[in-house]
Homo-oligomer: A and B are copies of this chain.
Amino acid sequence: MTSPTRADSARRDSTDPLACFRSAFVLPERTIYLDGNSLGALPKSVRARLDSAIDVEWGERLITSWLRSGWMDAPARVGDKIARLIGAAPGEVIATDSTSINVFKTLSAALALRPGRKLILSTPDNFPTDLYMAQGLIQQLGSGHELRLVDGEEIGRHIDDTVAVVTLTHVNYKTGRMYDMAGISRAAQQCGALTMWDLAHSAGALPVALNDAGADFAVGCGYKYLNGGPGAPAFLYVAQRHQSGFSQPLSGWLGHAQPFAFDSAYTPAEGVGRYLCGTPPVLSMIALECGVDMLLEVDMRQLREKSLALSDLFIDLVMDRCAGFGLELASPRAHAMRGSQVSFRHPQGYAIMCALIENGVIGDFRAPDLIRFGLAPLYVRFVDVWDAVETLRRVLADRLWDREAFQVRGKVT
């Protein structure tokens, strides 16, 4: 088999049904941006929408905008939109706070719903903040809960009737490895355990089917594949059947049944609204809504198809053109186990990523040795993959990474 040429990639772009979306983003010139799994690119709609939010909604309408400009409804409205992207029903998702805070809320709820069980099951390579929040919660509860970390490959055989909640990031942030949400949720259910899924690298990147999978709780991030802007509000999902069973501990006024009654005692709102806490950052929320609105126009099957085609091409080209330079594929080859990114290990990973960025290919680095390339199908083209791998080949072949400046580790991007 001969390796695909750049012309082959250009031909695939010309027949890509999602190609039209690229022009809806601002993208820097002479740069291939493969870090949309860290910060999604800027939708062109954001600028005008935020200008209007600033000038008209804040500047002119001022306080009346809470009702008149829909600020008050934004967490539920944006949540309902996100619900459509992740296989949830209206009223099951709300956009609020950060992913970390939402991990705390949902794990609190899960533990409260399983009062006799002391175990939170996760993996050592889960995204750290998910583990940190569980640790903070356990320490605060002080009632003998344990966070048990087991290898992801073996998670199934650790689920038993001592487990309160299994919490996993659906697509691993380092390797892009994707878990079988339906299978694990079923296994948990059979033992009476709950599941809490972190969709940071799934929402907007591939079809997610929370309800079909029987998931109990989920959280996710607004600033990656949802293209909601830096530090965009996060979201959380609570299956309808769990919503009235528990009132989460971050019981702020916007989660109250009647915030403007100003009662001195907390009464939780009906439904997922009780997972709201304080006042949402409206400007950031509006930017998030622009990103989400664009995704609602996308056929998620086409998105997934292109995502896998891009990552297949990336892997194939690296295996072919960068052979012999010591790169080791860290992402699964099987489609069913891969999200929308490709990662490789290399002892000089840090310096290699520095050299790539200097040469116009922006990915990122995760300690100790991982280089990571996010493939956001709405704005990454097949030729971008071809050009990126060509740059990677040049960085390796010409040892462009071998510079003193690239040996001092910091945060790369």
A contact residues vs B (CB 8 Å cutoff): 26, 28, 33, 35, 38-39, 41-42, 46-47, 50-51, 54-55, 57-67, 71-72, 97-101, 104, 108, 124-129, 131-133, 135-137, 139-143, 149, 223, 229-234, 247-254, 256, 259-266, 277-285, 287, 357, 362, 364, 366-367, 410-411, 413
Contacts A101-B250, A149-B264, A262-B366; A256 near B128 (Cβ below 8 A): yes
Among A50, A57, A139, A230, which residue has the most Cβ atoms of chain B within 10 A? Answer: A230
Specify which of B26, B129, B285 is in contact with A253 (CB 8 Å cutoff): B129
Min CB–CB distance A79 → chain B (angstroms): 15
A41 to B60 Cα, complex, angstroms: 9
- Contact yes or no, A101 B62, CB < 8 A: no
Specify which of B39, B129, B132, B266 is in contact with A131 (CB 8 Å cutoff): B266
A75 to B254 Cα, complex, angstroms: 23
- Contact yes or no, B249 A132, CB < 8 A: no
Contacts A131-B266, A149-B264, A256-B128; A63 near B97 (Cβ below 8 A): no
Specify which of B28, B63, B126 is in contact with A413 (CB 8 Å cutoff): B63
- Contact yes or no, A249 B139, CB < 8 A: yes
Write out the residue numbers on chain B whose beta carbons fall within 8 Å of the beta carbon of A223.
279
- Contact yes or no, B63 A55, CB < 8 A: no
- Contact yes or no, A229 B282, CB < 8 A: yes
- Contact yes or no, A47 B39, CB < 8 A: no
A279 to B127 Cα, complex, angstroms: 13
Among A46, A58, A137, which residue has the most Cβ atoms of chain B within 10 A? Answer: A58
A260 to B409 Cα, complex, angstroms: 11
- Contact yes or no, B133 A252, CB < 8 A: yes
A141 to B137 Cα, complex, angstroms: 10
Specify which of B59, B60, B250, B280 is in contact with A231 (CB 8 Å cutoff): B280
- Contact yes or no, B231 A277, CB < 8 A: no
- Contact yes or no, B252 A98, CB < 8 A: yes
- Contact yes or no, A47 B54, CB < 8 A: yes
Give the nearest-CB partner of A98 in chain B: B278
- Contact yes or no, A35 B47, CB < 8 A: no
Main SS at interface, chain A: mixed
Min CB–CB distance A66 → chain B (angstroms): 7
Copies of this chain present in the complex amount to: 2
A39 to B65 Cα, complex, angstroms: 10
A287 to B231 Cα, complex, angstroms: 14
Among A62, A100, A261, which residue has the most Cβ atoms of chain B within 10 A? Answer: A62
Min CB–CB distance A35 → chain B (angstroms): 5
Specify which of B28, B233, B252 is in contact with A62 (CB 8 Å cutoff): B28
Write out the residue numbers on chain B whose beta carbons fall within 8 Å of the beta carbon of A282.
229-231, 284
- Contact yes or no, A54 B50, CB < 8 A: yes
- Contact yes or no, A59 B131, CB < 8 A: no
Specify which of B132, B278, B285 is in contact with A252 (CB 8 Å cutoff): B132
Write out the residue numbers on chain B whose beta carbons fall within 8 Å of the beta carbon of A104.
249-250
Write out the residue numbers on chain B whose beta carbons fall within 8 Å of the beta carbon of A250.
100-101, 104, 133, 136
Write out the residue numbers on chain B whose beta carbons fall within 8 Å of the beta carbon of A47.
51, 54-55
Among A33, A63, A141, A234, which residue has the most Cβ atoms of chain B within 10 A? Answer: A63
- Contact yes or no, A132 B256, CB < 8 A: yes
Give the nearest-CB partner of A149 in chain B: B264
- Contact yes or no, B261 A364, CB < 8 A: no
Write out the residue numbers on chain B whose beta carbons fall within 8 Å of the beta carbon of A136.
247-251, 266
A163 to B115 Cα, complex, angstroms: 30
Write out the residue numbers on chain B whose beta carbons fall within 8 Å of the beta carbon of A281.
230-233, 281, 283-284
Write out the residue numbers on chain B whose beta carbons fall within 8 Å of the beta carbon of A129.
252-253, 278
Min CB–CB distance A362 → chain B (angstroms): 7
Write out the residue numbers on chain B whose beta carbons fall within 8 Å of the beta carbon of A35.
62-63
Among A38, A132, A232, which residue has the most Cβ atoms of chain B within 10 A? Answer: A132
Among A104, A285, A357, which residue has the most Cβ atoms of chain B within 10 A? Answer: A104
